[in-house]
Structure formats: C-alpha cells, structure tokens
Amino acid sequence: MGTLQGRVCIVTGAGRGLGREHALLLAAEGASVVVNDVGGGIDGTGADSGPAHEVVQEIRSAGGEAIANTDSVTSWSGAERLVDEAVAAYGRLDVLVNNAGILRDRALVNMVEDEWDAVIAVHLKGHAAPTHFAAAHWRDRAKSGESVDASVINTASGAMLGNAGQTNYSAAKAGIAAMTLVEAMELGRYGVRANCLAPLARTRLTLQTPGVGDTVAAPSDGSFDLFHPGNVSPLVAYLAAADCPFTGGVFHVGGNEVGLYSGWQLADDAVITANGRFTVDGLRRDAPTLLKGRGALASVTTSVGDTMRHFGRRGSN
C-alpha cells in the first residue's frame, strides 16, 4: 500500500514536465489524482486537452485512479470548478499541488503590459485561485467537526532571488514563496499545511531560461540524470502525506538534493545604527560598511543559470 493511499490530489499544469511526474508518482503512491492542464504553449497561448487526458490514461493503465480537468487556473470560476470536480468525483480533497506556469521573458525596459499580466496571472493568481477554493473546502470540513489533514504544495523557483530577463517571472515566484508563508499561518487552524518548492529540473520552461538550456541535457552515458523532473516528485509525495510534519517551508529540490531556505534575515554583520535618526551624511559615512556583510544586495550576482551550473558541477555524489 502506498503512502498516499486514499488521498485525493489535484495537480495543476500536470500535462507535461514536473506536473506530469508529480501526478504519476502521487497515483503510484495510491492517491486519486485530478490532472489539470489547459494544454497551452510555453507562453500560455492556445489550448489542447490532449496532455491532461494522456496523463490520466498513463495513470489508469498502471492501475491508478485519475480524472482530467482542463479549466484555466487564472480564472476564479475555473479554479472553483476544478476543486468542485475533485470533490464530486472522490468525495473530498486532501492535497493541492499548484504547478502551472508559463514564460514570457523580456528585459523590463522592453516588456509590454500583456507579458507582465499573463505571467503574473498564471503563476501568482493561478496559485491563489485554486488555493482559495480548496481552503474554503477544508474550512467547511473542519467547522463540521472533521479532523482535516490537508496539504498545499506550491511551486516557486530559484528565480525568486532574481534572474535577468525575468522580472515578471521572478516577481511571481517570489510572491508565491511569500504567499506560502501566509497560507501556513492562516490555514493551520483548519488542519492544512502549506509548503513551497523551488525546483531545479529540465522542463519546457527551464529550457527557455537565459543561461540554463545548455546545462541541463540528459547524460548520454546512462549515468544519473541530475535534471530529470522526476527527481523533484518524491518531495511532493512526501509533503502530500498525512503524517508529514512540515509547514511554511520553502524547499530547494533537484537531482539528489533537498534543502530548506532560511528566508530573508538580517545578518549580524549587516546592520548599522545611529544615536537617534540617521542623517544623510551619517548614511554616506556608515552605509558602505553593509557591503562587507553577507546580506548586501549590491554584492549578489547569482542568477538561476549560475545556480544550475554550480548544482551540475556538484554531480550526483
């Protein structure tokens, strides 16, 4: 019997890439899975019901239980239908994996309004809308006296720390990480945990990310594939389990690594003080010492591409 036997899970963006791997593993662990995907392009345009139904067929062929849903998570009403379909099909919802995403990369100086709006809608609103309706479902169950043990698993990115050419994407991913912390604060009273992934994997989106495409190819010698998206899914299954203790976590995950981000913190050596209110002259004199501290933004040069190249050099040891 799998660790998720009897659990009901929604996975958004589950037609390809990370979402597909998540859905397949959740089902293999015994969960009933709602496979959500509109089947659009990398930029979010178009629609194709095929990918969602293909994943459902894979799950069923392997003896699992799944249904397809092709509603857009950028729509409040679409997100409501998604949650309602899960409850109608399986009687309840236990796990929501928010994974849907698109890219419209552009330097901010050249970005047009639609490129900003589309990315924020799919990533940030596309996380908030399904979680809103799932949370209402769990609140109602908790208020009726039921003991709820539910899980929200969000998807951020190393780009939340900043990546040139991805102002819209980085802002959305940082927002998702922050939203996860608030969800953990607010939903714990209903028996709901909320965690977030910052995955490193080879997907349609990462292959389009500046500085990344050449670093994530599958090895030709049959050795461990560090960037296979399936490497991320075991953490998703663990966070989905009823006995998982984590909430409010933002996890680095990829290859053979799992790590926990510590968040924004003031470094002890990156604080200056004054006797009362600072003056401009006082800041001109003292503020440059912050550049010597660990928290100095001016000294941060790491991009997603830098991180992935470093990750790749560590190999699978």
Per-residue pLDDT tens for 203-262?
776 766 656 666 777 888 889 988 899 999 999 999 999 999 999 999 999 999 999 998
Going by DSSP bridges, is the β-strand pair 65-69/95-97 parallel, antiparallel, or unpaired? Answer: unpaired
Determine the pLDDT at residue 45. Answer: 79
Determine the pLDDT at residue 305. Answer: 54
Residue 143 DSSP code:
H
Taking 70 as the pLDDT cut, the residues of the chain under it are 1, 43, 205, 207-214, 293-317
| Cα–Cα dist 150/108, whole Å | 38
Determine the pLDDT at residue 190. Answer: 98
234 alpha carbon, distance to own chain's centre: 14
| Cα–Cα dist 82/69, whole Å | 7
* Active site (catalytic) residues: 157, 169, 173
Determine the pLDDT at residue 301. Answer: 39
Determine the pLDDT at residue 294. Answer: 47
Q: Cβ(233)–Cβ(20) under 8 Å?
A: no
State the alpha helices, DSSP H only, in 113-259.
113-120, 126-143, 167-187, 233-240
Each residue of 72-93: pLDDT tens digit?
Answer: 999 999 999 999 999 999 999 9
State the alpha helices, DSSP H only, in 194-232.
none
Q: Cβ(19)–Cβ(100) under 8 Å?
A: yes
